[in-house]
């Protein structure tokens, strides 16, 4: 044993007061110091902007689309009467006298030596070739047309070309205005950086100003969201019109194709019918050879002029359709730009209100003093 | 087997040791409760730091001014021989602090209802002459004493906030903390009878405690602000002597 029993008892008797003091001291110093905690920082709640900032609805106008009259190939009444007389003369004894005179005038234009054999041999293939604009026209047919073209009294019996009209104005290839392009809304936020305005005054209470700017940014964010929503909505609206314009353009090309083919068919039918009628009338002895060649010459001039009309109709209408589509797109772009201008104005007004409220709220963030 | 020493074990182990000592009749025979006293004192708190308002909004920047606090205390003295006493004390004092901060039309008033409980443990030396130590004359003559010890400050703050408008106000959010200090102590004891003495004493307390502050600007981070617990404390107390034979 390290200690005897008697020595242990003595030690305990002496040391008990020390043990007591030690234990009291330990209790006193046992726990570590502890900071007094505190309330959390004050949160400024800014309601100045609530429900006060709204962005008006910018006006989306649907532009009036271009009015289009495609024109076409027209047979003047005198031509119809002449053709009708030729086609129906077989049922009667002869042609009408005035038409015989006209056809006589046609016949006088020709050079019999150079032309009669070719005129006599005209058949369906020749008619098809004249109307087929992809095949070069025979010189003799062109010469015949030029002979007729120089005589206005006869030229008026040929088919006429009606040019297309755009918004009631005859289409002119050479008067195309510069295109209006669509744009995007400019970045408006560059002018409204809240950080530029914070803490410019030493008495401005920063947490309050920060709370104001947080509320300001929320309101500004809502404005931007609303403007973006309107822009997106307008984009859909105007894209729909652009699609509509593209559909109209395709429809017009389809119409042009159908009209061209219909015109070719009709002109071919008339050409064949006149050619057959001329042969029948001569064979039946209801017309003499002069009138026969007059009919042939009229028919050739009729078909060549029709060919010329088909070419002009095709080229002009194609250009007109393209131009109309472009112009309509320009109108849509202009309408979209007008919408953006309107939206910008509304946005600017809302920003004025927003900044006014912000300034007022910031003025309310100044330390007014107060005793402690 | 290893025993993990933690603050919890250390604390409760020492309390258990203390209770064992108190219940030991053998120890009671050697260590005697000399007297028990009740009294009031005024602690003239002087600050070398900003005062408690540093924990509130819009705190003053300058150091705190003289701030008298009234304390009620219970003091027990245990004789450690003829002239030395182990002195322990529990006090209780309250005070209120408030600040006002006006931002635009928003007036924010924050206040602290403070409860300060100083626990003290120290040793006094009694200047008792041999003549005065005579039992017959003991109760008839005054004597001086002086001593020193440690303070432990227990602090409870009930913090309230009142706003002139809008949300954010509240009442009585409680926060507690503690810290250490030291004191020196002297006084005079005048016997009134065999059982009762009257003591006029004074002590100088020194120390501080830490208060956390969450400034609005720091977005939830806190600063540790030191608050002084310095000052002279003077008081009067009535003493009941157990050792009156």
Could you give the ipTM of this predicted complex?
0.85
Q: Which residues of chain A have a pLDDT value below 70?
A: 1-18, 20, 172-202, 369-372
Q: Which B residues in the span 171-200 are in contact with A, Cβ-Cβ below 8 Å?
A: 173, 175-180
Q: Where are the alpha helices (DSSP H) in A135-205?
A: 139-149, 152-155
Report the side by side order of strands in the sheet with A165-166. Answer: A68-69, A165-166, A169-170
Q: Are B124 and B84 in contact (CB under 8 A)?
A: yes
Structure token digits, residue B199: 């003591």
Q: What's residue B39's pLDDT?
A: 96
Q: Which positions in chain B touch A33 (Cβ < 8 Å)? A: 177-180, 209-210
Distance of CA B162 to the CA centre of its chain: 30
Structure token digits, residue A341: 């201008």
Mutate to test the interface with A, among B10, B14, B218, B219 (most CBs of A within 10 A): B14
CA B19, B25, B31: angle at the middle one, nearest 5? 80
Interchain proximity A38–B213, CB inside 8 Å: yes
Q: Which positions in chain B touch A36 (Cβ < 8 Å)? A: 55, 155, 157, 175-177, 209-212
The CATH number given to B33-241 is: 2.40.160.20
Instruction: Place B98 in a pLDDT band, splitting at 50, 70 and 90.
Output: very high
Q: Are B55 and B62 in contact (CB under 8 A)?
A: no
Q: Establish if A315 belongs to a structural domain.
A: yes
CB crowding A155-182: b at 16 or more within 10 Å, else e: eebbbebbbbebeeeebeeeeeeeebeb
Q: Which positions in chain B touch A369 (Cβ < 8 Å)? A: 102
Q: Domain count of chain A?
A: 1
Q: Are B213 and B223 in contact (CB under 8 A)?
A: yes
Instruction: Place B220 in a pLDDT band, splitting at 50, 70 and 90.
Output: confident
Mean pLDDT for all residues in chain B: 86
Q: What is the DSSP letter of A185?
A: -
CA–CA distance, A366 with A369 (Å, rounded to integer): 9
Per-residue pLDDT at B10 exceeds 80: no
Q: Are B45 and B181 in contact (CB under 8 A)?
A: no
Size of interface A-B (CB pairs under 8 A): 157
Q: What's residue B82's pLDDT?
A: 79
Q: Are B150 and B185 in contact (CB under 8 A)?
A: no
CA–CA distance, A249 with A333 (Å, rounded to integer): 17
Residue A71: CA count within 13 A, CB half-sphere: 25
To which residue do tokens 């400050």 refer?
Answer: B153
CA–CA distance, B224 with A217 (Å, rounded to integer): 33
Specify the length of chain A in residues.
Answer: 372
Domain range for A125: 75-173+192-363
Interchain proximity A38–B167, CB inside 8 Å: no
DSSP three-state, residue A56: coil
With a CB cutoff of 8 Å and minimum separation 6, the contacts of B229 are: B45, B151, B153, B179, B181, B205, B206, B207, B208, B209
Q: What's chain B look like in SS3?
A: CCCCCCHHHHHHHHHHHHHHHHCCHHHHHHCEEEEEEEEEEEEEEECCCCCHHHHCCCCCCCCCCCEEEEEEEEEEEEECCCCEEEEEEEEEEEEEEEEEEEECCEEEEEEEEEEEEEEEEEEEEEECCCCCCCCCCHHHCCEEEEEEEEEEEEEEEEEEEEECCCCCCEEEEEEEEEEEEEEEEEEEEEECCCCEEEEEEEEEEEEEEEEEECCHHHCCCCEEEEEECEEEEEEEEEEEECCCC
Q: What's residue A237's pLDDT?
A: 96
What does the domain layout of chain B look like in residue ranges?
33-241
Q: What's residue A79's pLDDT?
A: 93
Q: CB distance from B152 to chain A under 8 Å?
A: yes
Interchain proximity A30–B168, CB inside 8 Å: no
Q: Quick one: closest CA in B to A39, which residue?
A: B214
Least Cα separation, residue A214 to chain B (angstroms): 14
Which position has the higher pLDDT, B108 or A10?
Answer: B108
Interchain proximity B26–A16, CB inside 8 Å: yes
CA–CA distance, A42 with B220 (Å, rounded to integer): 10
Q: Which B residues in the span 214-233 are in contact with A, Cβ-Cβ below 8 Å?
A: 214-220, 222, 224
Of the candidates B131, B235, B237, which has an alpha carbon nearest to the alpha carbon of residue B192?
Answer: B237
Least Cα separation, residue A6 to chain B (angstroms): 16
Q: Establish if A181 belongs to a structural domain.
A: no
Mutate to test the interface with B, among A11, A42, A358, A368 (most CBs of B within 10 A): A42
Handedness of CA B58, B60, B61, B67 (dihedral sign): negative
Which H or E element spans position A68? strand A68-69
B183-211 per-position pLDDT tens digit: 999 999 999 988 899 999 999 999 999 99
Residues of A engaging B, defined by a Cβ cutoff of 8 Å = 13, 16-17, 19-21, 23-45, 47, 205-208, 363-372
A326-330, B38-42, B82-86: lowest mean pLDDT where? Answer: B82-86
DSSP three-state, residue A166: strand
Structure token digits, residue A182: 């669509």
Q: CB distance from B117 to chain A under 8 Å?
A: no
Least Cα separation, residue B116 to chain A (angstroms): 12
Per-residue pLDDT at B22 exceeds 90: no
């Amino acid at each position: 044993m390290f200690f005897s029993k008697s020595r242990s008892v003595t030690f305990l008797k002496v040391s008990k007061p020390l043990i007591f003091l030690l234990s009291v001291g330990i209790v006193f110093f046992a726990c570590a110091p502890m900071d007094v905690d505190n309330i959390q920082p004050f949160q400024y709640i800014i309601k100045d902007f609530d429900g006060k900032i709204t962005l008006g609805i910018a006006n989306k106008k649907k532009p009036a689309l271009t009015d289009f009259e495609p024109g076409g190939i027209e047979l003047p009444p005198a031509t119809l009467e002449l053709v009708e007389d030729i086609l129906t003369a077989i049922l009667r004894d002869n042609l009408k006298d005035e038409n015989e005179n006209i056809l006589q005038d046609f016949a006088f234009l020709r050079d019999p030596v150079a032309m009669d054999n070719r005129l006599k041999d005209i058949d369906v293939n020749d008619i098809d070739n004249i109307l087929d604009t992809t095949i070069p026209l025979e010189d003799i047919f062109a010469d015949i047309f030029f002979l007729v073209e120089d005589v206005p009294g006869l030229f008026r019996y040929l088919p006429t070309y009606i040019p297309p009209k755009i918004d009631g104005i005859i289409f002119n290839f050479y008067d195309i205005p510069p295109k209006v392009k669509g744009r995007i809304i400019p970045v408006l936020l560059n002018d409204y950086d809240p950080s530029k305005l914070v803490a410019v005054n030493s008495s401005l209470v920063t947490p309050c100003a920060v709370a104001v700017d947080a509320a300001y940014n929320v309101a500004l964010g809502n404005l931007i969201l609303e403007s973006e929503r309107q822009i997106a909505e307008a984009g859909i609206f105007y894209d729909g019109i652009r699609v509509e314009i593209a559909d109209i353009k395709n429809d017009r090309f389809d119409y042009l194709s159908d009209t061209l083919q219909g015109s070719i068919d009709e002109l071919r039918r008339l050409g064949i019918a006149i050619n057959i009628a001329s042969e029948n009338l001569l064979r039946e002895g209801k017309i003499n050879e002069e009138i026969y060649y007059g009919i042939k010459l009229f028919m050739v001039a009729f078909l060549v002029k029709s060919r010329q009309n088909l070419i002009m109709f095709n080229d002009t209408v194609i250009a007109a359709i393209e131009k109309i589509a472009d112009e309509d797109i320009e109108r849509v772009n202009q309408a979209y730009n007008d919408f953006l201008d309107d939206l910008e104005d509304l946005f600017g007004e809302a920003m004025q209100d927003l900044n006014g409220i912000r300034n007022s709220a910031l003025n309310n963030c100044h330390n007014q003093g107060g005793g402690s | 087997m290893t025993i993990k020493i933690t603050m919890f074990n250390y604390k409760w182990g020492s309390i258990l040791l203390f209770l064992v000592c108190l219940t030991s009749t053998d120890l009671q025979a050697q260590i005697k409760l000399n007297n028990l006293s009740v009294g009031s004192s005024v602690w003239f708190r002087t600050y070398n730091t900003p005062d408690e308002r540093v924990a509130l909004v819009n705190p003053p920047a300058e150091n705190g001014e003289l701030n008298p606090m009234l304390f009620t205390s219970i003091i027990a003295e245990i004789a450690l021989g003829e002239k030395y006493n182990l002195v322990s004390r529990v006090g209780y004092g309250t005070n209120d602090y408030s600040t006002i901060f006006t931002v635009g039309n928003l007036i924010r008033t924050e206040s602290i209802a403070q409860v300060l409980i100083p626990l003290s443990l120290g040793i006094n030396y009694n200047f008792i002459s041999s003549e005065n130590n005579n039992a017959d004359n003991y109760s008839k003559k005054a004597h001086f004493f002086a001593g020193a010890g440690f303070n432990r400050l227990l602090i409870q703050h009930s913090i309230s906030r009142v706003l002139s408008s809008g949300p954010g106000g509240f009442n009585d959010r409680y926060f507690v903390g503690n810290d250490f200090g030291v004191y020196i102590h002297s006084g005079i004891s005048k016997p009134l009878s065999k059982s009762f003495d009257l003591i006029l004493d004074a002590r100088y307390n020194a120390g501080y405690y830490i208060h956390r502050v969450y400034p609005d600007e720091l977005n939830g981070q806190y600063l540790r602000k030191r608050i002084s617990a310095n000052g002279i404390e003077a008081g009067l107390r009535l003493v009941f002597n157990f050792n009156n034979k």
